[in-house]
């Protein structure tokens, strides 16, 4: 029976891979949250511009016009902030993805090593069985020769 000596290390690498996958999923959720927030801010900005364009003719107080302009500038700032947050979240996603790829490579290396040692072990067992069966056949053949 083949027993791989590095099984605990392989199990540890599998655990690290699962942890990295969870980290990547969390980073993806954060990224898409910022993207959705940016899209909502952009939608609010467009709605405010449309509402302002409808009311622009009715505004007689310049302070009210300044208030709408400040609101529009605030919407622009919100959209830009969400965009910057999405970019930084995407960088985090990329780092998590690279980390996961490195862990998967090291785990795959160990798995290939395990397969190679297992094949070598099976080949050795097969070779020993063949030698043993050849010895048995030679012994039987020698008995038949003596009997005749």
Tell me which residue range forms the domain holding 79.
Answer: 7-106
- pLDDT (tens place) for every residue of the chain, 148 residues total: 778 888 888 899 999 999 999 999 999 999 998 888 888 888 887 887 787 777 777 777 778 777 777 877 888 888 888 888 889 999 999 999 999 999 999 999 999 999 999 999 999 999 999 999 988 888 887 777 665 5
Residue 123 lies in a domain: no
Return the DSSP state at 59.
-
Residue 47 lies in a domain: yes
Residue 136 lies in a domain: no
The pLDDT value recorded for residue 147 is: 59
Chain position carrying tokens 């030679």: 138
Q: How far is CA 54 from the centre of its chain?
A: 48
Q: How many independent structural domains does the chain possess?
A: 1
The pLDDT value recorded for residue 100 is: 93
The pLDDT value recorded for residue 148 is: 57
Residue 114 lies in a domain: no
């Amino acid at each position: 029976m083949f027993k791989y000596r590095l099984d605990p290390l392989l199990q540890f690498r599998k655990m690290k891979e699962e942890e990295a996958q969870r980290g990547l999923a969390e980073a993806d959720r954060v990224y898409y949250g910022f993207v959705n927030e940016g899209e909502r801010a952009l939608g609010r900005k467009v709605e405010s511009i449309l509402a302002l364009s409808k009311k622009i003719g009715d505004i007689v107080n310049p302070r009210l016009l300044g208030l709408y302009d400040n609101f529009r500038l605030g919407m622009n700032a919100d959209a830009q902030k969400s965009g910057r947050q999405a970019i930084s979240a995407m960088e985090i996603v990329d780092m998590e993805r690279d980390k996961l790829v490195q862990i998967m490579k090291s785990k795959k290396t160990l798995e290939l090593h395990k397969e190679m040692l297992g094949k070598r072990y099976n080949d050795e067992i097969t070779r020993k069985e063949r030698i043993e069966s050849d010895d048995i056949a030679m012994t039987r053949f020698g008995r038949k020769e003596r009997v005749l």
